[in-house]
Amino acid sequence: MIVGIVLIVVFLIVLFFGMPISMGMGIGTLASMIAGGYDFSTLPMLIQKGANSYTLISIPYFILAANIMNKGGITNRIFDFCESIVGWMHGGLAQVNVISSVIFAGISGTSSADAAGLGMVEIEAMDRAGYDRKWSVGITMASSILGPIIPPSVGFIVYASLAGVSASELFVAGVVPGVIIAICLMVANYFIAISGKVACPPPTKFDIKEVWRTFKEGFFALLAPVILLVSLLGGFATATETGIIAVIYSLIASAIYHELHWKDLIATMKETVESSAIIMFLIGMGYGIGYVLTLARIPHKLTEALLGVTTNKYLMLFLIIIFLTILGMFLEATVIRIITVPLLLPILVALDINLVHFGVVHTLVGLLGTTTPPVGSGLMIMSTVAKMKFSDVVKGVLPFWIPLFISLFIVTYVPQITMWLPNLVFGS
């Protein structure tokens, strides 16, 4: 147990002094290996081994595809088309915000890409139309959660590599939960709009000609998620191969729209390398942490302790959700995933909890954590994108915690919702 205590204490001390999370994980792991009398010279090898996975190769591809689409004119066309089909609803552009995120989620794979790219378009459009600023920022933050739930998903890829499950099966499992989240957010938008308590312009008139015009102009942008989903659901490509398809298609679509220049392409590649390097290092470092914790038999001890509290899997899931939500207030979703999945696996197996279903639950809880203070990485991104105070962003997203947590509990306690499509596609 001393090994685990040293790891956590050193990690928190490093964070307290403002050092990067990756460095905190590294120094904490090194200190715990020394405390446990383990050979710390193996740490570099463990980091390399953790990041050496065929499944993880897809992460840079999905990040690159999202970056290209944000700069290649695809994001704006998706938003324009969504405005033409749901702008007539109560809540108008707030509903457009959600539907746009659903479509863009089928391309990006990350909430940060949705928030930073599509989010800027959505907030500016809602500002011009006269919507309450906190509302526009809040729904943009909430809808960005759809990015890693509706396939493709970088979060699912990381979880799959840690839990030893199929990334493709996880991708398919995220489709229906993503739709449920979108519906809950749209219902919340409706009630906010009719409440009369916030600034909300009247809905626009539905115009089939405008739908056709925006569909034609955005055809190649809208075709992207269709191609990726068909590749997955039809079994034509693995998760990694789908990432390659996403990059190739994003380049083709951007070339058709003539909005991606060489300077932009070089910038997107640089951003992709930086983001991918951070994620890969975190994953490798997480493997090192898992190795040390396993040597110290901490997962085994934790399993015994929790199973001593309850063997009811529904109550256990509730306890895990609380635990992960608290972690999410302070840590980034990827870090939470890397640290907790190896710890929780023995408990999940002991209680016969489906690992694919839990992958969706775990990813969703981690994403909800990005919307909660005091740290909330998603809140920080949105504060930068919207140029708003952190506290104002929190106030904006606060009403959307209700539909988001309702979605979480539906997905958690009705596993058939998550699993029926994977069972249909891959066989039960």
3 state DSSP class of 68: helix
Regarding whether 13 and 53 lie in a shared domain, the answer is: no
What is the tally of structural domains in the chain? 2
Q: Which domain holds residue 103?
A: 39-426
* pLDDT, mean of residues 83-109: 82
If one compares 117 and 101, the residue with the highest pLDDT of the two is 101
Instruction: Check whether residue 55 and residue 189 sit in a common domain.
Output: yes
Q: What is the pLDDT of residue 111?
A: 67
* Domain shared by 2 and 117, yes or no: no
Question: What pLDDT, on a 0 to 100 scale, did the predictor assign at position 199?
Answer: 79
Residues 3 and 63 in one domain: no
Residues 251-270: what's their mean pLDDT? 83
Which of 218, 201, 235 lies closest to 77, judged by CA? 218
pLDDT band of residue 115 (cuts 50, 70, 90) is low
Q: How confident is the model at residue 265 (pLDDT cuts 50, 70, 90)?
A: confident
Query: For the chain, percent helix, then strand, then coil, each to nearest 5?
Result: 80, 0, 20
pLDDT tens per residue across span 313-359: 899 899 889 888 887 776 777 778 888 888 888 889 888 999 999 99
Asked if residue 182 and residue 56 are part of one domain, the reply reads yes
Looking at the fold, whether 134 and 26 belong to one and the same domain comes out as: no
Query: How far is Cα 52 from Cα 60, in angstroms, rounded to an integer?
Result: 13
Choose between 174 and 301: higher pLDDT. 174
pLDDT at site 54: 65
Please check whether residues 222 and 289 belong to one and the same domain. Answer: yes
Q: Verify that 64 and 167 share a domain, yes or no.
A: yes
- Express each pLDDT in 365-383 by its tens digit: 988 887 887 666 677 777 7
Residues 78 and 207 in one domain: yes
Long-range contacts of 303-308 (CB under 8 A, 24+ apart): 303/346, 303/347, 303/350, 306/347, 307/347, 307/350, 307/351
Which of 243, 103, 109, 400 minimizes the C-alpha distance to 121? Answer: 103
The 10s digit of each residue's pLDDT in 198-245 is: 878 887 788 888 889 988 888 888 888 888 878 877 777 777 787 788
For residues 24 and 89, membership in a common domain is answered with: no
From the list 285, 241, 274, the residue with the least C-alpha distance to 49 is 285
Counting other chains too, the contacts that 44-50 makes at CB distance below 8 Å and 24 or more residues apart are 46/284, 46/287, 46/288, 46/291, 47/281, 47/284, 47/285, 47/287, 47/288, 48/284, 49/284, 49/287, 50/283, 50/284, 50/285, 50/286, 50/287, 50/288, 50/290
pLDDT tens profile 391-416: 888 888 899 999 999 999 999 999 99
pLDDT of 114 strictly over 70: no
110 and 206 co-located in one domain: yes
What pLDDT is attached to residue 361? 94
Tell me, yes or no, whether 140 and 22 share the same domain: no
- pLDDT per residue over 135-161, tens digit each? 888 998 888 888 788 887 778 888 988
